[in-house]
């Protein structure tokens, strides 16, 4: 695999004020204003082979914002069986970032508590930090275990390990400690500090535009291969550098791009319908005489 160049260390974002539908709804219900830091997910660059076979009509179709990320994840979740959903859960892709903001930290913990994602065997926590996406997986949280090998652990999957994913550890452990407190669990800070944070050597991206696709693909594959009980002795299981090929990822990206285009067409169609209704309303309003 080609080495990662310094200029590729950060994923490309375009500035905007985008929040997921779930976050926006919860912020409105809590009377909060929307924060202004949000950026979109990165572009996804196709391989030369794919670009030669299919020409992009618009750069816009290469980009996924946070709503599109969440929409695809919801669609992905709808494909798994009810039995599988008992073992897995995920939280909104912006909640970790919102947690880091003191103004919204308490609300995020309250939202997590309301989702009742614990005790699930595996909880996916997408992380957006330093202009890069990675995936935190909380394993066996809230489950009682008499063995250290079967106790809770954390997996941090990063497609750009040259950025130093270990520097996320203080925020992750603080996040986990506050979750434990909000859940009313008795474990203290010392216990949290001993929960293993494992960073497996997973396949790495070859440019600065793929981290969002990698996070979605990590989730997609983990859902298919996760063991019933993730033990420290069995680590790293399938989480290796040859976990999947870049060609597999390219095929997955094509599916994301296709899904994104369909979502955008649906969104534009709804917007056009609304504009048409507004024009008709204005046209009818012109013939109305208002009597005071």
Query: pLDDT tens for residues 90-148?
Result: 999 999 999 999 999 999 999 999 988 887 899 999 998 887 899 999 999 877 766 66
Question: Has residue 55 got a pLDDT over 70?
Answer: no
**Joined tokens for residue 63:** 């980009």
Assign 165 a pLDDT band (cuts: 50, 70, 90).
Answer: very high
pTM to 2 decimals? 0.73
What does residue 147 show for φ and ψ, rounded to 5 degrees?
A: -115, 135
pLDDT computed for residue 116 by the predictor: 86
Average pLDDT over residues 257-275: 71
Rounded to an integer, what distance in angstroms lies between the CA atom of residue 87 and that of residue 227?
10
Higher pLDDT, 36 or 216: 216
C-alpha dihedral (191, 164, 100, 217), degrees to nearest 10: -90
The closest of 36, 42, 1, 2 to 19, measured between CA atoms, is 36
Q: What percent of the chain has pLDDT over 70?
A: 67
Per-residue pLDDT, 7: 36
Q: What pLDDT was estimated at residue 14?
A: 40
Is the model more confident about 61 or about 201? 201
Output the CA angle 9-53-50, nearest 5 degrees: 25
Least confident of 22-26, 91-95, 182-186: 22-26
Q: What does the pLDDT read at residue 145?
A: 67
pLDDT for residue 159 is more than 90: yes
CA dihedral 15, 19, 21, 25 (to 10 degrees): -150
Q: How confident is the model at residue 23 (pLDDT cuts 50, 70, 90)?
A: low
- Confidence bin at 246 (pLDDT 50/70/90): confident
In this model, does residue 1 exceed pLDDT 50?
A: no
Q: Please state the rounded mean pLDDT for residues 172-184.
A: 93
The pLDDT of residue 289: 47
Report the range of poorest mean pLDDT among 18-22, 109-113, 264-268. 18-22
Distance CA 107, CA 93 (A): 15
Question: What sections of the chain are H helices per DSSP?
Answer: 21-29, 48-53, 66-78, 82-85, 95-100, 105-115, 169-183, 189-193, 211-225, 246-286
Neighbours of 275 (CB within 10 A): 10
Which of 61-70, 152-161, 274-283 shows the highest mean pLDDT? 152-161
pLDDT averaged over every residue in the chain: 76
Residue partners of 218: CB distance under 8 A and separation at least 6: 135, 157, 159, 202
23 vs 67: which has the higher pLDDT = 67
- Give dist(CA 163, CA 130) in Å, integer: 9
End-to-end CA distance of the chain: 76
């Amino acid at each position: 695999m080609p080495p990662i160049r310094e200029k590729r260390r950060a994923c490309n974002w375009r500035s905007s004020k985008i929040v997921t539908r779930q976050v926006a709804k919860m912020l409105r219900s809590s009377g909060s204003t929307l924060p202004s830091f949000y950026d979109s997910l990165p572009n996804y660059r196709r391989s030369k082979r794919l670009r030669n076979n299919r020409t992009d009509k618009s750069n816009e179709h290469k980009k996924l914002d946070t709503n599109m990320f969440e929409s695809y994840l919801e669609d992905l979740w709808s494909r798994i069986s009810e039995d599988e959903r008992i073992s897995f859960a995920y939280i909104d892709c912006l909640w970790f970032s919102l947690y880091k903001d003191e103004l919204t930290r308490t609300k995020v913990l309250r939202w997590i508590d309301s989702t009742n994602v614990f005790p699930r065997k595996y909880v996916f926590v997408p992380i957006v930090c330093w202009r890069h996406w990675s995936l935190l997986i909380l394993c066996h949280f809230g489950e009682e275990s008499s063995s250290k090998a079967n106790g809770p652990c954390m997996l941090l999957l990063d497609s750009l390990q040259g950025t130093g994913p270990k520097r996320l550890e203080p925020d992750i452990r603080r996040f986990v400690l506050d979750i434990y407190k909000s859940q009313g669990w008795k474990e203290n800070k010392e216990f949290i500090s001993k929960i293993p944070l494992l960073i497996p050597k997973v396949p790495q991206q070859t440019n600065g535009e793929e981290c969002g696709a990698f996070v979605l693909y990590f989730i997609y594959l983990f859902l298919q291969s996760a063991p019933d009980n993730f033990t420290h002795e069995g680590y790293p299981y399938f989480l290796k550098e040859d976990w999947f090929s870049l060609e597999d990822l390219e095929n997955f990206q094509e599916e994301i791009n296709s899904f994104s285009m369909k979502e955008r067409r649906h969104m534009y169609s709804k917007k056009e319908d609304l504009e048409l209704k507004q024009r008709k309303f204005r046209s009818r309003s012109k013939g109305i005489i208002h009597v005071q």
